[in-house]
Structure 1
Amino acid sequence: MIKVSVLYPNNESATFDMDYYCKTHLPLVAELVGKALISSSADAGLAGGAPGEAPTYIAMGHLVFESVESFQQAFAPHQEVIAADLVNFTNVSPVIQISNIAG
């Protein structure tokens, strides 16, 4: 299985509406990609590694799929709709990482 992590970099002007992300955006993604999506989750950044340090990412979303191919096939047809929804919850551009789930 693979995990698609959508990382939203933090900066002084970064905004992120976690309520919208969890209640509207993730369900939209799930509906569009259908059964290919095994699970999804979201994390809100709290702090960096040093005391008083801001988190590197204001938020992260994680999507689990069986394979890179299943993700690409399910996501590609809906990429524009999903990307267009970003303005409804954040003002930062996400960074995407696809990882193999070890263990």
Structure 2
Amino acid sequence: MVDYVFKEKGNDDLVAMNKLNHDVYDYASYVKGNIYNNEFITSHTDFAIPDYGNSPLKFVNSLGFSDEEWNRAGKVTVLRAAVMTPYMNDKEEFDVYAPKIQAALQEKLEQIYDVK
């Protein structure tokens, strides 16, 4: 399982970052249509204060957000992807998959920013 987030440079608004990551999820999951048209499929989760307390705070701080911003937003949205091939740990195989993953994510981000 690979957990990750997207954060725009200069963004100090955790709510805005959460929205961006939820938008990526929408475009890289079943939400926007048939998953068979997706080269990259992801899921997401929200680590919210009522459920997790401040356990995500160190991660949120590592992204450049303050404790106050964490308390204001009340959650962090994290994307999750399952690596479904045992061959990704082989460098040659990784070199085949990595550009495809990058292109698929780039496409999703371009779709998000074209919509806004």
Please indicate the TM-score interval, normalised by the length of the shorter structure.
0.3 to 0.5
**TM-score normalised by the chain length of structure 1:** 0.47
Structure with more of its chain in helix, by fraction: 2
Q: 1 or 2 for the larger relative contact order (CA 8 Å, sep ≥6)?
A: 1
Structure with more of its chain in strand, by fraction: 1
**TM-score normalised by the chain length of structure 2:** 0.43
